[in-house]
Chains A and B, each alone.
Chain A
Amino acid sequence: MRRWFRIAFPRNYLDRRSRAGFLFVLPALLFFGSVFILPLAQSVLYSFYKIAPGGAREFVGLRLYEKVLTDLSFWTAVGNTLQLLLFSVPTTVILALAVALGLNRISSLTWRNVWASMYFLPFATSLVAAALIWQWIYEPVYGFLNYALSFLGIPPQKWLQSLFQVRPAIAAVSVWVRIGFDTMIFLAALQSIPEEYYEAANIDGANAVQRLRYITLPLLNPQIIMVCILELIFNFKIFDQVYATTQGGPAGESQTIIMLLYDTAFKYFRFGDASVMAVFVFVTLMVVTLLQWRFFRKPVEY
């Protein structure tokens, strides 16, 4: 308490300096406090209240949790989200790793940059634009994809309008958007591996597969895990791509958890129910992040 008093009323030079430091940090603290910490607490609070559109509140304890968590459509949305994740996360990470390894072997710096920026470009565009371009490519009658597949003798598919293809099709958009980002992270990590390791392995007679298996992948392990977690979080929060294209359809097959949250809150104005989902999303992602910290935070020494 006395330390805070001295920050407010500095007595000497050192106190004045620590007050200056605190004041520099203050705007950021106020911002994060009011935009994240306080609303998060409020989200938790709201999840215990039934809120009428007019603003009247009634404390209902855990009743909303019971309602949302026993609702089939909620679990369908969670299931859809997880399926999307299972399609896109491994695909993105594996492809990005392959691309990064390939790019790293290209000796011409100019060409490496050219190819790298082509992979990276989708990441810089908005998810909405990305999804809408793909919707056009997926178009069943006039779309490019069916046209290209017709050369392989594959009959036209319905893609986003199909109950079974809609999730892989949306997942492919996510892969397309994210691959460049992951590639850049892997490439940066690859370039920081000292060349001597490979030279030593060469002298010992290791072949390319062995070098990859025993040098590159172990040293890249922290980045691979980090990218997996980032992809997991990104894809768990999937919204833009779905909202811009299928809006959860056909027949709710691409309804995701954040889509449901958005509709519940801003279409039906059931803030209480939406807050239960908000808490669910927060807790799920926090558990994922904490598990990662607990099990995978091993520093790597080069």
Chain B
Amino acid sequence: MTAVAASNGLPARRSLTIKQAYVRWLITLAVACGAIIVFFPFFWMAVTSLKTAPEIQRVPLQIAPDNWANFSNYFEVFKREPFLRYLLNSAIVASIAAVSSVVVSSLAGFGFAKYRFPGRDVFFLAIVGILMVPFQSVVVPLYVWMNDLGLLDTYAGIVAPDLVSVFGVFLMRQAIEMIPNDYIDAARIDGASELRIFFLVILPSVKPAIATLLIIKFLWSWNEFFWPMVVISSPQMKVVTMGLMSFTNMYFIEYNLLTAAAVISILPILLIFITLQRWVVQAVVMSGLKG
């Protein structure tokens, strides 16, 4: 178990003994088994969504569906409920939340990172403090507000508390702080207004942070359930998470339909996740480290 220093200046690499190789192999096996167990519910959901009602009630249970290309449950989901409308509602709400949060957060991030004005640090601390306020503690007054403003059961009502998040302000402030002041001063000397600097210098320099915030905020809004439950009452305004609940009933649940609906609700997120995985993970780690 001696460390052998590599001659090319790279960090020293340990030579592997047979015992170490064995341990490493065991660790990989354990990690892989765990991952498969964690992934299994998704597989089970997908498989169930391809079965017919009599198939899922078979005893003893049969894992594979009779017909792997049986998509009738998916058609039934759209027939039974205005599920397309739910998807559209969620997409609208999540897109508005994501875009508005990028706009307001990057403006605020710029202000906090690059300007001095009275109260700046106090304001920033106050925003940090908001992380301590659970949304459930403000939900009753917010509901009363929405009622008074006539925003119950509207897109504006669903999206209102979701327009900006503390995480976004943090993220943008941190990203904008990295931009050298010389760039900003150079633009000022060229006679650019502060707003012009924001659009032409700041925004193009923080594209990765903007992408990160867009993705994470879309994801959060898409999965939101508590607040939509509070503001939405009419069927055509329901978001996807609420739409899933339409397939549950205290006494009899058609799990083949429910799982098909769940697959549909998860699919957009899954696509985003697979294509932009690196950014999603980075965003989540950052959101955690800031919380």
For B193, the closest partner residue in chain A by CB is A20
**B236 CB–A CB distance under 8 Å:** no
Q: For the complex, is A164 an interface residue (Cβ under 8 Å from B)?
A: no
Q: Shortest CB–CB separation between residue B44 and chain A, in angstroms?
A: 6
A142-B56, A147-B61 are known contacts. Are A27 and B288 too (CB-CB below 8 A)? no
Q: Is B105 an interface residue (CB 8 A)?
A: yes
Is B34 within 8 A of A99, CB to CB?
yes
Q: Nearest chain B CB to A16's CB is how many angstroms away?
A: 8
Which of B34, B142, B250: most chain A CB closer than 10 A?
Answer: B34
From B36, B108, B134, give the contact of A28 (CB < 8 A). B108
Q: Given A136-B259, A141-B59, A230-B288, verify A278-B45 contact (CB < 8 Å).
A: no
Q: Roughly how many angstroms separate A42 CA and B53 CA in the complex, as a whole number?
A: 50
Choose among B41, B107, B280 the residue that contacts A124 (Cβ–Cβ < 8 A).
B280
Asked if A32 lies at the interface with its beta carbon under 8 angstroms from chain B, I say yes
> How many Å from the CB of A47 to the closest CB on chain B?
10
Q: Give chain B nearest CB distance to A171 CB in angstroms.
A: 15
Q: Taking the complex as formed, is A134 at the interface, i.e. its CB lies under 8 A from any CB of chain B?
A: yes
Binds A, one of B64-72, B74-82, B116-124, B204-212: B116-124
Check B281–A120 contact: CB distance below 8 A.
yes
Given A22-B117, A31-B104, A99-B31, A281 contacting B136 (CB threshold 8 A): yes
- Within the complex, the shortest CB–CB distance from B176 to chain A, in Å, comes to 10
B279 within 8 Å of A (CB atoms): no
Q: Which bracket fits the contact residues of B?
A: 35 or more
Give CA–CA (A20, B183) in the complex, Å. Answer: 17
Kindly state the separation between the CA atoms of A295 and B143 in the bound complex, as whole angstroms: 37
**A195 CB contacts on chain B under 8 angstroms:** 11
Q: Nearest CB to that of A117 among chain B residues?
A: B277
**Nearest CB to that of B58 among chain A residues?**
A142
Q: Which residues of B contact A40 (CB under 8 A)?
A: 133, 137-138, 141
**Cα A126 to Cα B239 with chains together (Å):** 12
B86 sits at the interface (CB 8 A) = no
Interface residues of A (CB under 8 A from B): 3-4, 7, 17-25, 27-29, 31-32, 35-40, 42-43, 46, 99, 102-103, 105-107, 111, 113-130, 132-137, 139, 141-142, 144, 147, 176, 179-181, 184-185, 188, 195-196, 199, 202-203, 208, 226-227, 230, 233, 237, 239-240, 243-244, 247, 258, 261-262, 265-266, 271, 274-275, 278-279, 281-282, 285-286, 289
14 chain-A/chain-B pairs, Cβ below 8 angstroms = A18-B117, A24-B115, A105-B24, A118-B39, A119-B35, A122-B41, A125-B269, A126-B269, A128-B225, A141-B59, A202-B1, A237-B136, A266-B229, A281-B137
Q: 7 tightest CB-CB pairs across the interface, nearest first?
A: A21-B115, A24-B111, A28-B108, A39-B138, A25-B111, A126-B223, A42-B141
Known: A40-B133, A105-B27. 15 other contacts (CB 8 A): A7-B117, A28-B164, A32-B130, A43-B141, A99-B31, A113-B277, A126-B225, A137-B44, A176-B38, A226-B291, A261-B136, A261-B139, A266-B230, A278-B138, A285-B134
